[in-house]
């Protein structure tokens, strides 16, 4: 799905990401977990560099965004 989406946007996927994801591409749980880990790390780097905020396009699938927000410790408890 990410390959199709990147083609539609005219973007390319870095070789290191292909190398990371190709071995697990058929295990959706592992792909999800790896995506959360990578996105969380990227968000942490952005926050450390002083970005004023983060914006996520969920594409009507909020589970990954919720997991990232929790991994960053940004979630609220009720």
Show the CA angle centred on residue 50, arms to residues 45 and 55, nearest 5°: 75
In a domain, 76, yes or no: no
The answer for residues whose C-beta is within 8 angstroms of residue 17's C-beta and 6 or more apart is 38
75 pLDDT tier (thresholds 50, 70, 90): confident
Q: Domain total for the chain?
A: 1
57 in a domain, yes or no? Answer: yes
Sorted by sequence, the CB contacts under 8 Å of residue 54 that are 6+ apart come out as 43, 46, 47
pLDDT tens, position by position, 32-73: 999 999 999 999 999 999 999 999 999 888 999 999 999 999
Residue pair 62/52 in contact (Cβ under 8 Å)? The answer is: no
- Examine residue 7 and state whether it is found in any structural domain, yes or no: yes
Taking the model in full, what pTM does it have? 0.81
Structure tokens of 18? 């292909």
Domain-located, residue 77: no
Determine, yes or no, domain membership for 78.
no
| Residue numbers of the domain that contains 50 | 2-71
């Amino acid at each position: 799905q990410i390959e199709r989406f990147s083609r539609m946007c005219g973007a390319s996927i870095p070789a290191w990401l292909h190398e990371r994801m190709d071995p697990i591409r058929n295990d959706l749980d592992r792909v999800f977990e790896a995506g959360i880990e990578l996105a969380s790390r990227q968000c942490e780097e952005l926050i450390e560099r002083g970005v004023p905020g983060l914006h996520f396009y969920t594409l009507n699938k909020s589970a990954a965004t919720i997991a990232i927000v929790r991994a960053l410790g940004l979630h609220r408890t009720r």
